[in-house]
């Protein structure tokens, strides 16, 4: 597989991605703008790992009948023993999901979303087998800062399935130790009500419900890097995330009145919805193991979390896709998990709706929808681009005068007081001929908000996940070919477009710098999603067609020859 080359930032480092993209484009704009008159002439020399420690479980007592329905084990109950003799598997299945429980620990061993496929084309399994083998299964109990003795995650619980098969209650009691877990599912929603009670040695123990060892599509490209914990403070309308690197050395704990808190990857989430308004504790950890998606077969930091914080936790978990319609049906506040960006969300969200409209109403293919929307964007910005082209042609006309100014101040440094005088003369020349010195940067600046907007849409919109186009299997991921064709085509068109751009009067050194730009784009885009590269490639093809037509309709002006002064020495 080709080596990954990352664009600065990553989806789980928002808004760092947008900031780094801004810096990258600002630097390119500075190169384009500054090279017009600030560069010297051609002849001048260019200046954590956490291991759960627990005692062996006590020998299970002889099984006795489970308590009557509705009885809570945390109440002053009779000293009766409740346990199972052997491990048993219980399954809850609807059209949306298939969940398998084990009564050893009362944990989830498998959670499959039936309407989604993983990156290998199989039903999407949210539980990471490689991780659970090391750190335990989802919905195990976690106590912060102390070992549990005995360990309730090793008990053999007595199981009491709910009528209709949409839930189960697990019970364990042995002397001063009493534990209860209750799961009630919704048939047509990605929701499960979860109640947990924990009493050890006669003491009610505040505890958390854990989901560790990674989460989501474990076979997706670079999947482990997209995992994070997420929490939402409704009063401040504030969404906060933490990655595994934020808890590399130890557990990172956040406490507050979070409306929801849990774990997520790029397109899916498992969050506890706090309808009761109780104070929640969210713990983030880094679980190191070899994930399925890592081709180097080396240990990587995978996200892990535990949420709760009460002796009796009563939570509703959403475990499903980060689809805006699905989230809104549960609670509109859950839509905050689909984060289109801090700075460019105002562009990204309309782009998402435009893509959805074009796809659902006309095209029915997101790849071609990206092509169509890109063409529409370029048509809408065409007047500004034509104005920029005219400004660049005017700049070419005054190149001889710019060269004379550069020759006049040849050899001075940027800190020389005469450098300010040089800039004044250059700006006066631009003003005299009606030239916008930033005109050459305008096409690039126009594309930047849409580039970041498409980047955000492809990073968070589940509709883009596994969207196919020609040979591309997933527009939200890089191509899987040994040599990625879209980035190669993008670099070729970028180079051809640069050659087509008028360069009359441009000195050779500036031309070489401009021809170097396609290589910078190759570095930036090779490791990016195929949909993002398709957007830029379509923009390049449109710009080439625009340039061809414009040159036919508006031929580039002929640069007048430089006026040179010849000193003739008179003979005496």
Residue spans per domain, the chain: 11-45+345-553, 89-337
Pairing of strands 268-273, 280-289: unpaired
Q: How far is CA 344 from CA 351, 354, 456, in A?
A: 11, 16, 8
Residue 304 · residue 136 · CB < 8 Å: no
Query: Residue 179 in contact with residue 143, Cβ under 8 Å?
Result: no
The continuous run of DSSP H or E covering 275 comes out as none
Q: Assign domain 89-337 one CATH number from 2.60.120.200, 2.60.120.650, 3.10.20.600, 2.70.98.90.
A: 2.70.98.90
Nearby residues of 565 by Cβ (< 8 Å), 6 or more positions away = none
Given a contact cutoff of 8 angstroms between Cβ atoms, the answer to whether 113 and 322 are in contact is no
Rounded CA-CA distance 209/309 in Å is: 9
Using an 8 Å Cβ cutoff, are 152 and 179 in contact? yes
Sequence-separated (6 or more) residues with CB below 8 Å from residue 146: none
List of E strands, 328-386: none
Band the pLDDT of 52: cuts 50, 70, 90: very low
The 10s digit of each residue's pLDDT in 410-462 is 878 777 777 788 888 888 887 777 776 665 566 667 778 898 999 999 999 99
CB atoms within 10 A of CB 571: 4
- What residues have CB less than 8 Å from 461, skipping those under 6 apart? 338, 352
Tokens read off for 400? 């001889």
Q: How confident is the model at residue 212 (pLDDT cuts 50, 70, 90)?
A: very high
- Residue pair 195/180 in contact (Cβ under 8 Å)? The answer is yes
**Which residues neighbour 468 within 8 Å (Cβ) at sequence distance 6 or greater?**
365, 367, 474, 475
Question: Running DSSP on this structure, what letter comes out for residue 75?
Answer: S
Give the Cα-Cα-Cα angle 291, 151, 282 (nearest 5 degrees): 60
| Least confident range of 25-34, 387-396, 535-544 | 25-34
Name the more confident of 186 and 547.
186
* pLDDT tens sequence across 322-365: 999 999 999 999 999 999 987 888 999 999 999 999 999 999 99
C-alpha to C-alpha distance for 164 and 537, rounded to whole angstroms: 54
State pTM to two decimals.
0.78
């Amino acid at each position: 597989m080709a080596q990954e080359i990352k664009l600065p930032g990553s989806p789980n480092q928002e808004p760092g991605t947008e900031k780094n993209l801004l810096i990258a484009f600002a630097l390119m704009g500075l190169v384009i703008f500054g090279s017009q008159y600030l560069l010297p002439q051609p002849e001048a020399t260019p200046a954590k790992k956490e291991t759960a420690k627990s005692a062996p479980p006590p020998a299970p007592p002889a099984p006795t009948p489970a308590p009557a329905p509705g009885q809570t084990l945390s109440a002053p109950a009779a000293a009766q023993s409740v346990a199972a003799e052997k491990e048993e598997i219980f399954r809850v299945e609807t059209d949306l999901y298939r969940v398998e429980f084990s009564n050893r620990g009362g944990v989830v061993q498998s959670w499959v979303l039936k309407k989604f496929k993983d990156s290998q084309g199989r039903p999407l399994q949210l539980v990471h087998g490689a991780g659970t083998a090391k750190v335990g299964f989802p919905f195990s109990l976690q106590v912060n800062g102390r070992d549990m003795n005995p360990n309730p995650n090793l008990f053999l619980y007595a199981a009491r399935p709910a009528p209709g098969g949409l839930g189960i209650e697990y019970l364990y009691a042995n002397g001063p130790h009493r534990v209860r877990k209750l799961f009630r599912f919704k048939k047509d929603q990605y929701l499960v009500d979860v109640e947990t009670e924990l009493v050890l040695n006669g003491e009610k123990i505040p505890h958390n419900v854990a989901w560790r060892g990674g989460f989501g599509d474990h076979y997706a490209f670079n999947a482990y890097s997209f995992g994070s914990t997420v929490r939402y403070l409704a009063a401040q309308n504030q969404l906060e995330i933490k990655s595994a690197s934020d808890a590399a050395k130890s557990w990172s704990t956040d406490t507050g009145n979070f409306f929801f808190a849990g774990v997520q990857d790029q397109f899916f989430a498992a969050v506890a919805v706090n309808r009761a308004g109780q104070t929640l504790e969210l713990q983030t950890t880094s679980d190191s193991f070899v994930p399925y998606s890592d081709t180097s077969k080396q240990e990587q930091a995978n996200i892990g979390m535990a949420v709760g914080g009460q002796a009796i936790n009563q939570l509703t978990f959403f475990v499903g896709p980060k689809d805006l319609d699905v989230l809104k049906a549960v609670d509109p506040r859950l839509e905050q998990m689909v984060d289109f960006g801090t700075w460019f969300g105002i562009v990204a969200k309309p782009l998402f709706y435009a893509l959805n409209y074009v796809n659902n109403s006309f095209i029915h293919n997101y790849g071609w929808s990206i092509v169509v929307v890109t063409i529409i964007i370029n048509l809408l910005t065409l007047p500004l681009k034509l104005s920029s082209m005219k400004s660049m042609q005017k700049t070419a006309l005054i190149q001889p005068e710019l060269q004379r100014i550069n020759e006049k101040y040849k050899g001075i440094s940027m800190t020389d007081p005469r450098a300010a005088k040089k800039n004044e003369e250059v700006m006066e020349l631009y003003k005299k001929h009606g030239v916008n010195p930033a005109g050459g940067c305008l096409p690039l600046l126009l594309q930047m908000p849409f580039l970041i907007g498409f980047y955000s849409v492809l990073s968070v919109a589940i509709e883009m996940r596994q969207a196919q186009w020609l040979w591309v299997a997933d527009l939200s991921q890089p191509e899987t070919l040994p040599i990625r064709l879209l980035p190669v085509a993008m670099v070729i068109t970028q180079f051809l477009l640069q050659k087509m751009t008028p360069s009359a009067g441009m000195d050779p050194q500036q031309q070489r710098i401009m021809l170097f730009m396609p290589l910078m784009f190759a570095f930036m885009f090779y490791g990016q999603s195929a949909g993002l590269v398709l957007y830029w490639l379509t923009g390049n093809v449109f710009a080439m067609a625009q340039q061809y037509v414009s040159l036919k309709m508006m031929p580039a002006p002929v640069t007048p020859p430089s006026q040179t002064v010849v000193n003739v020495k008179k003979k005496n």
